[in-house]
Each structure stands twice: as C-alpha cells, then as structure tokens.
Amino acid sequence: DGGITQSPKYLFRKEGQNVTLSCEQNLNHDAMYWYRQDPGQGLRLIYYSQIVNDFQKGDIAEGYSVSREKKESFPLTVTSAQKNPTAFYLCASSLGLAGAQETQYFGPGTRLLVL
C-alpha cells in the first residue's frame, strides 16, 4: 500500500528534551511538509522540502529542525527551544510541481504532549 506513515502516534516530552517525529512516504513524492495543528488554529506550516538535501522554513519554524537526507523520509525534531510544543503534528507529501494541481497527502499525525 502506498502512503505516509508517522510514528509514534503519541509522544511525551520532558522539559528541556529534544524529540524527533518520524515521517516516511512511499509515494515517490519530491515534496514533503510538516504542519502543526492546535485547536481552533487550523494548520500552520513549520518546514517544507521540495527536493532531497534542501528545505525551507515555513511560518512557525522557530524551535524546530528538519533534515531531508532521503527522498522518502523527512524527520522533524522539536527542540528544547520550542516553549509550547504540545500539539498535533501532521506530515504531508506531494509531487512538488509548483503551479500545477498539487494534492497533498497526509499522514495520520503524531500527538506530542509535554510532561
């Protein structure tokens, strides 16, 4: 089955700790995205990558870092600098054809909670 997987489903972070959220896709998509969802806030873009070894900051990149060493993987690290990390994190991917019809396919999400 083609799709996007995110792990873990739930993640707990202690104060001052970095945690990494996994996102893997087997859709052969060039572009991948990380969003944060808070109640009543909709989706806000954290980082995106349109090609391997390249990524750009989204609207709320502070306190987060990413890497894109492989086409199918785009892990997100929530660093200790992110003071309010409790949220639902969604990963997505798309073909990456700017200007074309660009459906984004979403993973099931990871819920991060701070202890």
Chain contacts with another protein (rule: CB under 8 A): 4, 6, 31, 33, 35, 40-43, 45, 48, 50, 58, 90, 92, 94-99, 101-109, 111
Residue 108: is the preceding peptide bond cis (ω within 30°)? no
Q: Would you say 50 or 77 has its CB closer to another protein?
A: 50
Phi, psi (deg, nearest 5) at residue 93: -140, 160
- Residue 66 beta carbon to another protein: minimum distance, rounded to whole angstroms: 15
Q: Would you say 13 or 44 has its CB closer to another protein?
A: 44
As given in the structure block, the two tokens for residue 7 are 């792990």
- Residue 19 beta carbon to another protein: minimum distance, rounded to whole angstroms: 20
- Residue 72 beta carbon to another protein: minimum distance, rounded to whole angstroms: 17
Residue that is written with structure tokens 């396919």 in the block:
105
Residue 85: is the preceding peptide bond cis (ω within 30°)? no
Q: Would you say 43 or 114 has its CB closer to another protein?
A: 43
Beta strand 42-51 pairing with 54-57? antiparallel
Closest listed residue to residue 76, CA positions, set 113, 46, 111, 31: 46
Q: Would you say 85 or 107 has its CB closer to another protein?
A: 107
- Residue 22 beta carbon to another protein: minimum distance, rounded to whole angstroms: 14
